[in-house]
């Protein structure tokens, strides 16, 4: 018969130890991944983050970024150790609840062993001091990460860009509030998410402080450092900060305008865009908004960084494309930011609704109807590669996850639902989805269940047809 001591020894061999407080729950090392089937090592297990506070400095002359990240989290199991995601950098110290912790590095995994076990349900604070030149990524959308620019830097990308510039639980399901304080050389601006709390200059350096209280997925945090023209205003109870690189005034757009002029005019349409989308999706989910347009020629995308989307200047070659990309990224404030993904295979919920928002905007502007947009795409032949991707589970490769099919067929799926359930039920589904699911991480099954509950119809066949591989038989 095993004694208690022999049993505990066996548990220890399995990677568990008894907590230092003497409680019965064994301590375990948190998982080194959140469990996303597409990106197994993104995020981590064992805790839930409440907030990040970054106190940083950046010198464009050397591209060195450094400072501290304070991470407040709650243990979801009793932990002997836990992981943070961090690519590169020299880590000089880590403390947990004010006590020095042991640290190990393995690629992008930073394993922290605190001096004391973290009891399930307890809140703990981790402070990481780090410094280095951030590594650029070839992320899902192309060149991404903490990009060095001509006069500063731009942090942007998805799916796992956050770990390229701060220690993080890098998965969209674990949202947290964010504070960013960044010190840069005097004469440069630094723009991030949320509200500008303060900016102050001393000894040739300016510190910019931004606060985003509404929880956000880590990849939605951005930072732009450089020369910007910042337009601040308030309309309909929403405060806006728009930042446009003045260097874009030297680049010509279609007609007689410059890229800077088109970008500024397009961003200024945001209050109108929000008003139109709110008619369908419900009230705008945040109290601040805006946009960032940096002169980064190699940036090939726009991204819905929460409350302050980032745009490549390429979208502002003419006014029409500029407005549509603003519509798309602001639709993401509902679809992807407020209601975020529980796993990356459900990305059609983000991109399908954001693309459908473009169709709704075109209808509002009188240029085309959603049905016309749907019919145009429906004419594509069945043999086209457009129909080969199962958009409800497209795969982790960038040409799958961010394929045209996910965007356009995602919008077609939304319209097929609208046609099937009727205008009244469709409007209620959207209001319930973006209202009732606000602040949650969701799946396709969640959306299907809501659509069936509201409409009173069985919709499994419809979604299987539209989210699967192949041209839907209903199109002929």
The answer, yes or no, to whether residue 473 has pLDDT greater than 50, is yes
Helices 460-467 and 404-421, packing angle to 10 deg: 160
The answer, yes or no, to whether residue 140 has pLDDT greater than 70, is no
Query: Are 25-225 and 344-475 in the same CATH fold?
Result: no
Taking the C-alpha atoms of residue 450 and residue 429, their distance in angstroms, rounded to an integer, is 7
Mean pLDDT of 116-137: 96
Taking the C-alpha atoms of residue 127 and residue 255, their distance in angstroms, rounded to an integer, is 52
The answer, yes or no, to whether residue 5 has pLDDT greater than 80, is no
Give the model's pLDDT for residue 9: 27
| Domain made up of 344-475: CATH architecture | Orthogonal Bundle (1.10)
Q: Encode pLDDT of 442-458 as tens digits.
A: 999 999 999 999 999 99
Q: Tell me, which fold does domain 228-270+289-337 have in CATH?
A: Neutral Protease; domain 2 (1.10.390)
Taking the C-alpha atoms of residue 81 and residue 102, their distance in angstroms, rounded to an integer, is 9
pTM: 0.93
Q: Encode pLDDT of 295-351 as tens digits.
A: 998 899 999 999 999 999 999 987 778 999 999 999 999 999 999 999 999 999 999
Q: Encode pLDDT of 72-100 as tens digits.
A: 999 999 999 999 999 999 999 999 999 99
207: how many CB neighbours lie within 10 A of its CB? Answer: 17
Measured distance between the N- and C-terminal CA atoms of the chain, rounded to whole angstroms: 71
Q: Encode pLDDT of 13-27 as tens digits.
A: 233 444 445 455 799
Give the model's pLDDT for residue 24: 59
Q: Tell me, which fold does domain 25-225 have in CATH?
A: Immunoglobulin-like (2.60.40)
The answer, yes or no, to whether residue 472 has pLDDT greater than 70, is yes
Domain extents in the chain: 25-225, 228-270+289-337, 344-475
Helix locations, 200-347, DSSP H: 259-267, 270-281, 319-334
User: What average pLDDT does the chain have?
Assistant: 93
Mean pLDDT of 249-278: 94
Non-local (6+) Cβ contacts of 372 within 8 A are: none
66: how many CB neighbours lie within 10 A of its CB? Answer: 17
Pairing of strands 310-311, 288-293: parallel
Q: Encode pLDDT of 33-46 as tens digits.
A: 999 999 999 999 99
Helix locations, 123-237, DSSP H: none
- SS3 label, residue 260: helix
Cis omega (within 30 of 0) for bond into 159: yes
Helices 444-455 and 348-365, packing angle to 10 deg: 50
What is the sign, positive or negative, of the torsion defined by CA atoms of 381, 384, 386, 389?
Answer: positive
The answer, yes or no, to whether residue 230 has pLDDT greater than 50, is yes
Q: How many helices (H) and strands (E) does the chain have?
A: 11, 23
CB 177 within 8 A of CB 194: no
Distances (CA, A) of 31 to 104, 169, 326, 345: 14, 11, 38, 21
What is the sign, positive or negative, of the torsion defined by CA atoms of 201, 208, 296, 228?
Answer: negative
Taking the C-alpha atoms of residue 2 and residue 8, their distance in angstroms, rounded to an integer, is 10
CB 466 within 8 A of CB 472: yes
What is the sign, positive or negative, of the torsion defined by CA atoms of 319, 321, 323, 329?
Answer: negative
The answer, yes or no, to whether residue 422 has pLDDT greater than 60, is yes
Q: Encode pLDDT of 166-206 as tens digits.
A: 999 999 999 999 999 999 999 999 999 999 999 999 999 99
Taking the C-alpha atoms of residue 368 and residue 407, their distance in angstroms, rounded to an integer, is 18
Give the model's pLDDT for residue 23: 53
Give the model's pLDDT for residue 137: 83
- Per-residue pLDDT band for 285 (boundaries 50, 70, 90) equals very high
Distances (CA, A) of 266 to 154, 302, 386, 416: 21, 14, 30, 30
């Amino acid at each position: 018969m095993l004694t208690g001591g022999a049993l505990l020894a066996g548990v220890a061999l399995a990677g568990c130890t008894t907590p230092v407080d003497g409680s019965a729950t064994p301590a375990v090392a948190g998982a080194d991944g959140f469990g996303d089937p597409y990106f197994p090592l993104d995020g981590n297990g064992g805790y839930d983050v409440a907030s990040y506070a970054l106190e940083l400095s950046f010198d464009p002359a050397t591209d060195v970024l450094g400072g501290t990240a304070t991470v407040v989290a709650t243990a979801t199991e009793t932990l002997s150790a836990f992981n943070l995601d961090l690519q590169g950098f020299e880590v000089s110290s880590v403390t947990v609840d004010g006590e020095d912790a042991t640290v190990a590095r393995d690629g992008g995994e930073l394993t922290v062993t605190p001096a004391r076990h973290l009891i399930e349900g307890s809140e703990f604070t981790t402070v990481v001091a780090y410094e280095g030149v951030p590594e650029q990524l070839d992320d899902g959308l192309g060149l991404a990460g903490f990009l060095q620019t001509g006069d500063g830097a731009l942090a942007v990308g998805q799916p796992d860009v956050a770990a390229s510039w701060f220690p993080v639980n890098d998965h969209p399901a674990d949202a947290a509030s964010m504070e960013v304080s960044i010190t840069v050389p005097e004469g440069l601006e630094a723009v991030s998410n949320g509200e500008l709390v303060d900016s102050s200059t001393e000894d040739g350096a300016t510190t910019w402080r931004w606060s985003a209280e509404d929880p956000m997925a880590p990849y939605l945090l951005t930072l732009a450092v450089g020369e910007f023209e910042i337009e601040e205003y308030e309309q309909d109870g929403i405060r806006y900060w728009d930042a446009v690189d003045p260097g874009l005034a030297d680049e010509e757009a279609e007609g007689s305008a410059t890229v800077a002029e088109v970008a500024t005019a397009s961003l200024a349409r945001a209050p109108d865009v929000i008003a139109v989308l709110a008619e369908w999706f419900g009230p705008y989910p945040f109290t601040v908004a805006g946009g960032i347009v940096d002169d980064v020629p190699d940036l090939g995308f726009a991204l819905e960084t929460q409350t302050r989307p980032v745009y490549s200047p390429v979208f502002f070659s003419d006014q029409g494309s500029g407005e549509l990309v603003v519509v798309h990224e602001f639709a993401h404030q509902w679809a992807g930011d407020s209601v975020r993904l529980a796993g990356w295979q459900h990305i059609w919920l983000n991109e399908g609704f954001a693309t459908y928002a473009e169709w709704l905007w075109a209808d509002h502007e009188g240029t085309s109807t959603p049905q016309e947009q749907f019919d145009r795409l429906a004419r594509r032949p069945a043999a086209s590669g457009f129909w080969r991707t199962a958009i409800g589970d497209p795969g982790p490769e960038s040409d799958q996850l961010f394929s045209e099919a996910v965007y356009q067929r995602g919008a077609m799926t939304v319209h097929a639902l609208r046609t099937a359930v009727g205008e009244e039920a469709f409007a209620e589904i959207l209001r319930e989805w973006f209202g009732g699911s606000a602040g949650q991480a969701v799946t396709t099954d969640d959306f299907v269940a809501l659509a069936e509950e509201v409409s009173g119809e069985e919709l499994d066949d419809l979604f299987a047809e539209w989210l699967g591989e192949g041209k839907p038989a209903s199109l002929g």
